[in-house]
Structure 1
Amino acid sequence: MAALQITVDGQELTADWTKENAETRNAIAAALPLEGDASRWGDELYFRTGIDVDPKTTQTEVPVGSVAYWPQGNAICLFWGPTPASHDQEPRAAAPVAVVATVDDVSPLDAIQGGAAIRIERA
C-alpha cells in the first residue's frame, strides 16, 4: 500500500517515501496534509509550504515521478518530465532539491495544463 495520496486537479496519484533524506521526509510527514496552488515549470509542479529544513542530500537531476523538497523556495515539487533546465528528456530542477518520495504512475499528469491545485496526504 502506498504511503501518500497526491491529488492534482482531481487526478489521484499514489507515492511511496524514499529512504534518503529522512530528516526532510519526517518534517514533511509531520506537516501533512499539505496543499497549495502549484505553479508549473515545464513538466514540474511546485508549491510553497511552511516547511523549513536543511536536507542532507540534494540533486538537480531527478527521476521521473520524484516528489522533492526545494529548500531555496521552501516548496514541494513534483517532476514527471523535462523542465526548461533539462538537457534531454530527464527532469531537472532549477536548483538542488531533496527527493523524498516517488509517484507510482505519472501518466495522469500529462493532462494537466498550466498550474494546478495540489493536496498531499497520508494514504
Structure 2
Amino acid sequence: MQIRISWPAGHLTATLEETPTSEALMGALPLASTAHTWGEEVYFDTTISPALEAAARQVVEPGTVAFWTEGDALALPYGPTPISRGDECRLAGPCNVLGRIDGDPRLLATVRAGDPIRVERVET
C-alpha cells in the first residue's frame, strides 16, 4: 500500500505495511489536515482513532510512518525531537508503526507549522 503526502513546498510517497492502523488510514483517504512540527517531526490530525498495537514503539528510525494513538495523528519523524537522546527519533509516546517514507525523509524539513497537508492513496 502506498500513500502520497503533499504540502505547499513538496510531496513524498510512503509504503505502508498491512496493519490494522494502516488499513484504517487507507479507508479514511483522501485526508486533508494542518501540519504541526515538533523538533524534526511533522505530525497532523486524522479522522481515525485506532487502538495502540502490540508492536508500537517510541524510538524509531528517521522516515518511519507512525501513528500517535493518544493524539489521533500521523507522525513523520526525520530527525531528533525535543525528547530525543542524541540523534534518535523519539516520539511523544509509543506509536503504531505503519511503514516507511520512500526516498529521503529530510524533505519533511520543508513543512512549516500551519501548512495544509493532504494524504491520498497512490493507485498502482
Structure 2 length as normaliser, TM-score?
Answer: 0.87
Residue 15 of structure 1 corresponds to which residue in structure 2? 14
Mapping of 1:1-123 within 5 angstroms?
Answer: 3-19=2-18, 22-56=19-53, 57-104=55-102, 105-123=104-122
Q: Say whether the 8 Å CA contact 1:23–1:55 is kept in structure 2.
A: no
The amino acid of 1:33's aligned partner reads: P
Q: Which shifted more, 37-46 or 8-17?
A: 8-17
**Cα-to-partner distance string for 1:5-64 (whole Å, 9 max, x where unaligned):** 111333110110135xx1111101100112211111001111112201113221100111
Q: 101-110 or 74-83: which moved more? A: 101-110
Tell me the secondary structure at the aligned position of residue 81 of structure 1: coil
RMSD: 1.6
Distance 2:83 2:14 in 1: 24
Provide the TM-score with structure 1 as the length reference. 0.88
Corresponding pairs, count:
120
In percent, how many aligned pairs have the same letter? 37
Structure 1: tracts of 5 or more residues without a match: none
Quick check: 91-100 or 105-114, which moved more? 105-114
Q: Give 1:84's aligned amino acid.
A: P
Equivalent-residue separation in structure 2 for 1:43 and 1:73 (angstroms)? 18
